[in-house]
A = this chain, B = another copy of it.
Amino acid sequence: MSRILVIDDERSIRRMLQVLLEGAGHTMISAEDASHGLHALAMEKPDLLILDLGLPDMDGLECLRRLREWSTVPVLILSARPDPADKVSALDLGADDYLTKPFDAPELLARLRALLRRVTTPDEQPVISIGILTIDLATHEARVDNQTVPLTPIEFSLLAQLARHAGRVLTHAHLLNAVWGPKATEQSHYLRVHFTHLRRKLRDAGLDAEVIRNEPGIGYRLMLEDDPRT
């Protein structure tokens, strides 16, 4: 998901954050003091910085001030001091959020998500790419070879459902529920008709229609790669 730099001198905290962040799908880079941290920030260009204020070689606030002279990376401060005045100085020096130790792990992750969401540019939309097929959830566009395939609303949402869980089988009931609502979970013939249309349009656009595969009696799946196990 995102690359996160942690500057903290305590090995145990770094360990704990590593488990936490990688468990959430992020990549973690770490540094154990301010000078290495600033160097890593310049070299690695992470998406976000978690900064402990209690560093051995430099005051944490000073570190923050220096990096803000040239970097706009979002910064979440970790600190053992719960004094509100500390929070105010850190936030005014350019920090984006401030958590006091001990912190609640799910809350930390949620605050990271909030920061990353705010920072990722709005045109960096959720786009799913599978081979030459790309599905843009925000603009409701499906492209093959960068050529837009005109899909109807139902066709698009079927494809989007499959793409969201690419490679896995989605049951008839799941697809019907997601596209037509809970009242249609029995109408599996809808799927046969609309998948015919969808496959035809994808084939006309130059895509191997085998990418949408049927699992008899179960449902449908979108193949991730050309995986020629019959």
Interface residues of A (CB under 8 A from B): 72, 74, 84-85, 87-88, 91-92, 94-97, 104, 106-107, 109-111, 113-114, 117-119, 122-123, 138-140, 147-148, 150, 152-153, 167-169, 215-218, 221, 229-230
Task: Find chain B residues with CB under 8 A from A97 CB.
Answer: 97, 114
Identify which of B95, B113, B216, B217 contacts A92 (C-beta below 8 A): B113
Please name 6 pairs of A and B residues whose Cβ atoms are closer than 8 Å in the assembled complex, sorted by A: A84-B107, A88-B107, A92-B114, A94-B117, A96-B118, A139-B169
How many copies of the polypeptide does the oligomer hold? 2
Task: Find chain B residues with CB under 8 A from A123 CB.
Answer: 168
Do the beta carbons of A87 and B72 come within 8 Å of each other?
A: no
Do the beta carbons of B87 and A107 come within 8 Å of each other?
A: yes
Closest B residue to A230 using CB positions: B150
Do the beta carbons of A85 and B114 come within 8 Å of each other?
A: no
